[in-house]
Structure 1
Amino acid sequence: MADTLDDILQEKSRHQIVLSTSTSNAAFLLLPRVAEVRACFPGGEIFVVTSDPQGIEPSGKVDLALVFGEPDFPGFKSQPLFNDILTPVCTPEYLRENGPIESVQDLLGCELLHMQAQHASWVGWRRWLRHFSQELPKDRQPMGFNNYYHVIQACLAGQGVALGWMRMLGDLTASGQLVAPLAECLETEDHYHLAWPANRPPAFDAAPFKDWLNRQFNGCPPSEPAPVL
């Protein structure tokens, strides 16, 4: 698979646009709306590459990247888009069987699904709970993952409560697959960014993609998740 990817990147046509992002951004933000993404790049072939944790595939062939947090890769310029809103989410079935969850303190009795922080911009359970004057006990071992996509898959399987990044999860809350039982939420200080190689500006207009991202995901609090197209 690595050899095939390398071949495709090396042989990409001048009309191909290599768009890099994290697995979770691809799965929850872009792929459910792939037709709208393609419409942002008329006449271009789009090749989506996923790379974790931040979302920039290090081959040097990337034309554009959607990342959370200002890119810490050398040689990239970026433009901020919007921040995210974090609040606990779970399935309705988990809430019925393990609830009620009526306060932040109630979370301490739940199975908390945890993603190991791999980048400084990531906000985890300890930081989120501290914001609401709660501490995760030091001997507490939440169920852990190294990928946010897997955290949400475990959450959808009813295995516990995830810290929901609501820009990503708007489709899942709008459909009722996940619910946000608490009003408490935390806005991130970091933002999503569009990034591109500083020495190789995009040979295409990235403004339609930037505008689409802002229209689609900006200004959608948990009570008003991103609309399903």
Structure 2
Amino acid sequence: MANLRKKLPPLTALTAFEAAARHASFTRAATELGVTQAAVSRQIHLLEEDFGFPLFHRLHRRIELTEKGRLLFSAAGDAFSLIADAVADLRADGPDDELAISATISFAHFWLMPRIAAFSRAHPEIKLRIITQDARIGTEGGDIDLSLRYGMGTWPDGQAVFLFEDEVFPICSPDYMQTRGPILSPADLVDQPLISSDADDPTWTGWEEWLAAFSVKAPKKSRGLRCSFYTEVIYAAMNGQGIALGWSRLVSDLIQQGRLVRLTDASIRTRAAYFVVIPARRPVKESARLFIEWLGSEHASGEPFVRNA
């Protein structure tokens, strides 16, 4: 064992390297690990000094693994997965059947939490743990049983099962609509304060893309509020700050409650969709299987979309 330890690099540095390689980003690795970007960069620099060769090509605004870096990433990923599987098996032997589900803040806040009580009533024996974070949480560590994600369905850490698509249209508060007069077409929106969010996800539809779908050019300098998270966008719209883009799956309850209203008949279909991701290299827990079935039943009972674009 002593000889083995001498052959291995420091675990902290190896963990930082694996996260950076998986995300292709020091910044995203730092977010996942809960440390600074400088700390991740320092650990990888120490690792490269220990090996005597670079593990990454530092390019303009991005990084790429070197050939030796790819070999180490493959080995580290396999090793971490084996450890995660063993830990998951040990935890599964415990008395509580806890089901850990990860989701983005907006999906958890506006779709999952208003509905999940129905699942708990049907399966009171299952203990739920909801983990919300906009930065994607990987399933390799063994802490996540299922991950609810929005994207193209191509993630390397698990099998993506399609849930549903979405459509996007402009929304605002009832008071805002009454005070600003009729807004009947996408062209009527450009002079309004348009609320937006700083989304890192390239599949997330912004105002420029949405207006372009109707041959309308977005204003160069919008008077609208800019927020960090989509949840803030929705609350700003409900409080009369302006007009936001509403994802039907996320805002349908708020529209039914009269807290938001839809503007114009125009909408676009999203390029991406919602998926539930099942971790790779691990058997599906019975509680996870029941939750996936429940997700399917919730989708089946949902309102059909009306496509206008």
TM-score (norm 2): 0.63
Deviation at 1:216, TM superposition (A): 3.8
Q: Compute the RMSD of aligned alpha carbons.
A: 2.7
Structure 1 residues 100 and 59: alpha-carbon distance in aligned structure 2, compared to 1, 3 A threshold:
farther
Structure 1 residues 172 and 45: alpha-carbon distance in aligned structure 2, compared to 1, 3 A threshold:
same
Q: CA deviation digits over 1:62-120, x for unaligned, max 9?
A: 10111111356532211112110110000110011122211111101111010122112
Unaligned runs of 5+ in 1: 1-8, 224-229
Give matches, 1:29-178, under 5 Å. Answer: 29-39=111-121, 41=123, 43-54=125-136, 60-70=142-152, 73-140=155-222, 142-178=224-260
* 2:199–2:229 contact (8 Å) kept in structure 1: no
SS in 2 for 1:195: strand
Unaligned runs of 5+ in 2: 1-87
Q: Which moved more, 1:124-133 or 1:59-68?
A: 59-68
Structure 1 residues 143 and 59: alpha-carbon distance in aligned structure 2, compared to 1, 3 A threshold:
farther
Name the CA distance, whole Å, in 1 between partners of 2:270 and 2:167.
Answer: 6
Give matches, 1:202-217, under 5 Å. Answer: 202-204=284-286, 205-206=289-290, 207-217=292-302
TM-score (norm 1): 0.84
Structure 1 residues 98 and 192: alpha-carbon distance in aligned structure 2, compared to 1, 3 A threshold:
same
* 1:70–1:78 contact (8 Å) kept in structure 2: no
SS in 1 for 2:278: strand
The answer on 1:219 being equivalent to 2:301 is: no
* 1:69–1:121 contact (8 Å) kept in structure 2: yes
* 1:166–1:222 contact (8 Å) kept in structure 2: no
Q: Indicate the structure whose relative CO is greater, using CA pairs within 8 Å and at least 6 residues apart.
A: 1
SS in 1 for 2:168: strand
* 1:54–1:119 contact (8 Å) kept in structure 2: no
Match of 1:18 in 2: 100
Structure 1 residues 127 and 42: alpha-carbon distance in aligned structure 2, compared to 1, 3 A threshold:
same
Name the CA distance, whole Å, in 1 between partners of 2:91 and 2:281.
Answer: 20
* 2:139–2:157 contact (8 Å) kept in structure 1: no
Name the CA distance, whole Å, in 2 between partners of 1:34 and 1:210.
Answer: 10
* 2:150–2:273 contact (8 Å) kept in structure 1: yes
Name the CA distance, whole Å, in 1 between partners of 2:183 and 2:140.
Answer: 42
Deviation at 1:215, TM superposition (A): 1.9
Name the CA distance, whole Å, in 1 between partners of 2:142 and 2:284.
Answer: 13
Deviation at 1:58, TM superposition (A): 7.8
- The structure that has the greater radius of gyration is 2
Name the CA distance, whole Å, in 2 between partners of 1:112 and 1:53.
Answer: 25
Q: Which moved more, 1:38-47 or 1:186-195?
A: 38-47
Structure 1 residues 57 and 29: alpha-carbon distance in aligned structure 2, compared to 1, 3 A threshold:
farther
Name the CA distance, whole Å, in 2 between partners of 1:33 and 1:209.
Answer: 10
Write the letter of the residue equivalent to 1:79. Answer: V
Name the CA distance, whole Å, in 1 between partners of 2:283 and 2:99.
Answer: 12
